[in-house]
């Protein structure tokens, strides 16, 4: 503590390490891969390893030549399969988000109004599925809905039906699968905004002459809007690019873009086209993601 000492080199080094390490890691393993996807989406497929033409032709004697083609994107717009996949994904994601909201809102509301310590227990029951394998839970659903599953078995023995229902490998199964998997994502933000709701506000509204339904629509619903938006986007965004659920529960006609991309890559081995599909999927996702971050920042402020 004597004389003038300047902050040591070690102190700046520590700061540099803290910022630099995750930065470099993410540049290399997150940002660079996207640049590559973008690049390959403009390449031509060839039968080789790797199966696409190089973006820069280093062998050309007259220096670099950029081999870019918009063929992949043109193909995406021309072939019905992709357009249908995109639209179908959006439809399925939207409908399952709405179903999640319909089921999740009363659940979140009931939990928020339950006194402690039961409330914590109910919350634990909502969170618990998070920690169990997603894949195994989808599998459990498959077993339930199968030809010889519990549901068919039950309905048959009750005499409601005489032939097993084809529930598995349908669009309906995909909706159920998404609701089943993503319901906790809807309930938690809803609960967070409903929990803050002071019960006195309800009583004040009732005291001022509002009927229970009016209290709900005038007080409860408007105050839950941030939770509704956050929960809906948390369901919609992952549902849109979902692969496992349509792959296991969907039928041949259940076209979802995540599944289509996977097949394009692994089955057709058309890497450039798969990249183009990915880029378009990202473009569709940008709007809900930007919306989500906007609302998150508003909630934080």
Partner 1 sequence: MNRPSTFLYSVLCFGFAVLYIPVFVLMAYSFNDSRLPTVWGGFSTRWYSALLENEQILQAALLSLEIALVSATFATILGTMAGLALSRVGRFRGRSVLTGMIAAPLVMPDVITGLSLLLLFVSLQELLGWPGNRGANTITLAHITFSMAYVAVIVQARLANMDQSLEEAAMDLGGRPFAVTRDITLPLIAPAMASGWLLAFTLSLDDLVIASFTSGAGASTLPMVIFSKVKLGVTPEINALTTLVIAAVTIGVLISGWFMLRQLRAQPAPP
Partner 2 sequence: MTTPGNTLNTLNTTDTPNPEFINTPWRDPQQRPFIEIEGLSKRFGDFIAVDAVNLKIYRRELFTILGGSGCGKTTLLRMLAGFEKPSAGRIRIDGVDVTDLPPYLRPVNMMFQSYAVFPHMTVYQNIAYGLKKEKLPRAEIKERVGRMLELVQLTALSKRKPNQLSGGQRQRVALARALIKQPKVLLLDEPLAALDKKLREQTQFELMNIQDKLGITFVVVTHDQEEAMTLASRIAVMDAGDFVQIGTPSEVYEFPRNHFVASFFGSINLFDATVTSVDAGELCVLLDDSDTEICTRYEGELAVGSACKIGVRPEKLLISTERPAEQGNTITRGVVEDLAYKGNRSIYRVRAQNGRIIMVSAQNKQRSAHLPLEWDDEVYLSWPSDCSVVLTA
Q: Which residues bind partner 2 (CB under 8 A)?
A: 1, 3-7, 11
| Residues 112, 19: Cα–Cα separation, whole Å | 40
Closer to partner 1 by Cβ: residue 51 or 65: 51
- Interface pattern 26-65 for partner 1 (x via CB under 8 A): xxxxxxxxx-xx--x---------x---------------
| Residues 90, 62: Cα–Cα separation, whole Å | 46
Nearest distance from residue 154's CB to partner 1, in Å? 10
Cβ(161)–Cβ(155) below 8 Å? yes
Nearest distance from residue 9's CB to partner 2, in Å? 13
93-122 residues in contact with partner 1 (CB under 8 A) are: 103-104, 106-107, 109-111, 113-115, 122
Nearest distance from residue 11's CB to partner 2, in Å? 7
Query: Which of partner 1, partner 2, none binds 5 (CB below 5-8 Å, type-dependent)?
Result: partner 2
185-214 residues in contact with partner 1 (CB under 8 A) are: 187, 199
Nearest distance from residue 5's CB to partner 2, in Å? 5
Nearest distance from residue 74's CB to partner 1, in Å? 20
| Residues 202, 117: Cα–Cα separation, whole Å | 22
Helices 134-145 & 150-158, crossing angle to 10 degrees? 20
Closer to partner 1 by Cβ: residue 171 or 273: 273
| Spatial CA neighbour of 189 closest among 222, 238, 228, 131 | 228
Helices 257-266 & 271-300, crossing angle to 10 degrees? 150
Three-state secondary-structure class, residue 66: strand
126-185 residues in contact with partner 1 (CB under 8 A) are: 126, 128-137, 139-144, 146, 148-150, 153, 179-180, 183-184
**Buried-state track 182-200, b at ≥16 Cβ within 10 A, e below 16:** bbbbbbbbbbbbbeebeee
- 269: contact with partner 1 by CB under 8 A: no
Query: Which of partner 1, partner 2, none binds 27 (CB below 5-8 Å, type-dependent)?
Result: partner 1
Closer to partner 1 by Cβ: residue 12 or 74: 12
Bin 185: left if φ > 0, else alpha if -120 < ψ < 50, else beta.
alpha
Nearest distance from residue 6's CB to partner 2, in Å? 7
Bin 270: left if φ > 0, else alpha if -120 < ψ < 50, else beta.
beta
| Residues 107, 105: Cα–Cα separation, whole Å | 5
Closer to partner 1 by Cβ: residue 171 or 186: 186
């Amino acid at each position: 503590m004597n004389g003038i000492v300047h902050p040591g080199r070690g102190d700046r080094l520590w700061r540099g390490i803290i910022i630099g390490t995750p930065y470099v890691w993410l540049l290399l393993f997150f940002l660079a891969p996207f640049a590559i996807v973008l690049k390959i989406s403009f390449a031509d497929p060839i039968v080789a390893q790797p199966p696409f033409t190089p973006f820069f032709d280093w062998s050309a004697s007259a220096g670099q030549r950029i081999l870019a083609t918009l063929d992949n994107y043109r193909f995406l717009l021309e072939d019905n399969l992709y357009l249908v996949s995109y639209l179908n994904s959006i439809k399925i994601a939207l409908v399952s988000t709405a179903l999640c909201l319909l089921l999740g809102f009363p659940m979140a509301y009931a939990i928020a109004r339950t006194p402690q310590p039961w409330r914590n227990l109910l919350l634990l029951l909502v969170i618990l599925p998070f920690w169990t394998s997603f894949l195994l839970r989808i599998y459990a659903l498959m077993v339930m809905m199968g030809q010889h599953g519990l549901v068919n078995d039950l309905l048959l023995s009750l005499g409601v039906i005489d032939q097993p229902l084809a529930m598995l490998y349908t669009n309906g199964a995909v909706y159920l699968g998404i609701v089943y998997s993503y319901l906790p994502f809807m309930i938690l933000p809803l609960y967070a905004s409903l929990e803050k709701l002071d019960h006195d506000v309800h009583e004040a509204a009732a005291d001022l002459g509002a009927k229970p339904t009016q209290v709900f629509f005038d007080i409860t619903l408007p105050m839950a809007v941030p939770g509704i938006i956050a929960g809906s986007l948390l369901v919609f965004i992952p549902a849109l690019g979902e692969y496992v659920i349509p792959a296991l529960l969907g039928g041949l006609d259940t076209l979802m873009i995540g599944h289509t991309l996977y097949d394009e890559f692994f089955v057709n081995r058309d890497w450039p086209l798969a990249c183009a599909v990915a880029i378009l999927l990202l473009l569709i996702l940008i709007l809900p993601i930007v919306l989500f971050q906007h609302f998150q920042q508003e909630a934080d402020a």
